[in-house]
């Protein structure tokens, strides 16, 4: 059995539970149970505040955990980073009131900055020789300037709409962050085996996410040219049809190139193009 620390509620909670679900690891969610055993995988989920996840993994209370890079950097705990998960993407930025005539980092000298990430902020300020007054608060950071608590803020930004709502503008990006799978350094062999099984499943889910499965009917004399625009997993599958001049062609394509490829296929005579999402790909 391996124990994973997961945020009990919030941004990471949703995405983490989705990842487990897509990997077919069932975890019954219950608001009051803080430790839940999966019914079909040797995994136990420990629900915590995200701030406590790095320490719980470093100390071995949990074997692995899912946490934002921002929280990991802030907490300085000795854990191994196993996998970047690609969700909960955001950045940590300095923002000042919209009306400020911002001239550069030296503007922050002697100013008061509100944040929930004092360690990351102090390291950044020190390395740029800026002396500011760092004021620590645990939430609603963006309101600090409006209520006269600080001159500027240092907080999480994603779309930027919270800043806009609070009449702030982003002036410096200090770090980018995404969810990370972290682990304790001293897992035994059995735990490593379970972790590897999980990683295998995560990889299959991830490989499938940016791919589409396409099926179409193509004239037989166009198979070679159509195959050239279809970079499949290996090569496209060609299936004969009752009409001897036509065949069906199946392939996996990159979502990013989807519209470009579909256009080319149509131009080359493909018809009845069907496109499906893929749940998992095992390479
Ligand atoms: N707007 C956002 N877009 C994308 N990712 C975000 C956003 N806000 C936060 N995150 C990421 O999700 C993590 C958790 O954010 P959330 O706001 O749920 O945490 P919290 O308020 O600290 O919750 P907790 O009560 O667990 O301490 C952050 O540390 C960050 O990595
Ligand atoms: O740039 P944006 O897209 O507006 O996102 C940034 C906001 O998102 C997070 O808060 P969240 O909405 O998770 O609420 P919280 O304060 O309860 O954590 C973060 O603390 C910012 O306030
Ligand atoms: Mg938190």
Helix, strand, coil in percent for the chain, rounding step 5: 35, 30, 35
> What is the distance between the alpha carbons of residues 4 and 236, in angstroms, rounded to a whole number?
40
Please state, for a pLDDT cut of 90, what percent of the chain lies above it. 83
Q: Domain 210-277, what architecture? A: 2-Layer Sandwich (3.30)
Supply the ipTM of this predicted assembly.
0.95
Mean pLDDT for the chain overall = 94
pLDDT tens digits for range 31-82: 778 999 999 999 999 999 999 999 999 999 999 999 999 999 999 999 999 9
Q: Domain 90-177, what architecture? A: 3-Layer(aba) Sandwich (3.40)
**Ligand 2 and 157: CB distance under 6 A:** yes
Which SS3 state, helix, strand or coil, does residue 101 take? coil
pLDDT tens digits for range 156-204: 999 999 999 999 999 999 999 999 999 999 999 999 999 999 999 999 9
**Ligand 1 and 53: CB distance under 6 A:** no
- CATH 3.40.50.2020, applies to 2-87+178-207: no
Atom of ligand 1 at shortest range from CA of 69? 31
> What is the distance between the alpha carbons of residues 57 and 244, in angstroms, rounded to a whole number?
62
Distance from Cα 140 to the centre of ligand 3, integer Å: 12
> What is the distance between the alpha carbons of residues 94 and 91, in angstroms, rounded to a whole number?
10
Task: Report the pLDDT value the prediction gives residue 234, as an integer from 0 to 100.
Answer: 65
Sorted by where each begins, the domain ranges of the chain are 2-87+178-207, 90-177, 210-277
Task: Report the pLDDT value the prediction gives residue 254, as an integer from 0 to 100.
Answer: 86
**Ligand 1 and 93: CB distance under 6 A:** no
Distance from Cα 191 to the centre of ligand 3, integer Å: 28
Q: DSSP per residue over 148-199, as a string?
A: TS-SEEEEEESSSHHHHHTTEEEEEEEEEE-EEEEE-TT--HHHHHHHHHHH
Q: Which residue has the tokens 């279809």?
A: 230
């Amino acid at each position: 059995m391996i124990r994973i620390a997961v945020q009990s509620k919030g941004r990471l909670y949703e995405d983490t539970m989705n990842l487990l679900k897509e990997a077919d690891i069932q975890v019954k969610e219950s608001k009051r149970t803080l430790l839940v055993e999966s019914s079909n995988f040797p995994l136990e989920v420990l629900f915590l505040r995200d701030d406590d996840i790095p320490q719980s993994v470093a100390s071995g209370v949990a074997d692995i955990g899912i946490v934002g890079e921002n929280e990991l950097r802030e907490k300085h705990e000795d854990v191994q980073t196993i996998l970047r998960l690609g969700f909960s993407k955001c950045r940590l930025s300095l923002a000042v009131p919209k009306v400020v005539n911002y001239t550069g980092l030296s503007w922050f000298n002697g100013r008061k900055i509100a944040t929930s990430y004092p360690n990351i902020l102090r390291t950044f300020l020190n390395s740029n020789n800026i002396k500011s007054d760092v004021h620590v608060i645990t939430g609603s950071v963006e309101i600090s300037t409006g209520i006269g608590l600080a001159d500027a803020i240092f907080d999480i930004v994603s779309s930027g709409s919270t800043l806009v709502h609070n009449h702030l503008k982003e002036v410096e990006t200090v770090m980018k962050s995404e969810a990370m799978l972290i682990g304790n350094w001293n897992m035994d062999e059995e735990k490593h085996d379970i972790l590897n099984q999980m990683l295998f499943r995560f990889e299959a889910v991830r490989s499938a996410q940016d791919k589409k499965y396409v099926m179409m009917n193509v004239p037989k004399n166009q198979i070679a040219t159509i195959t050239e625009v279809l970079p499949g997993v290996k090569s496209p599958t060609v299936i004969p049809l009752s009409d001897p001049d036509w065949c069906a062609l199946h392939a996996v394509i990159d979502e990013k190139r989807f519209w470009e490829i579909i256009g080319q296929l149509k131009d080359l005579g493909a018809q009845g193009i069907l496109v499906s999402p893929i749940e998992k790909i095992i390479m």
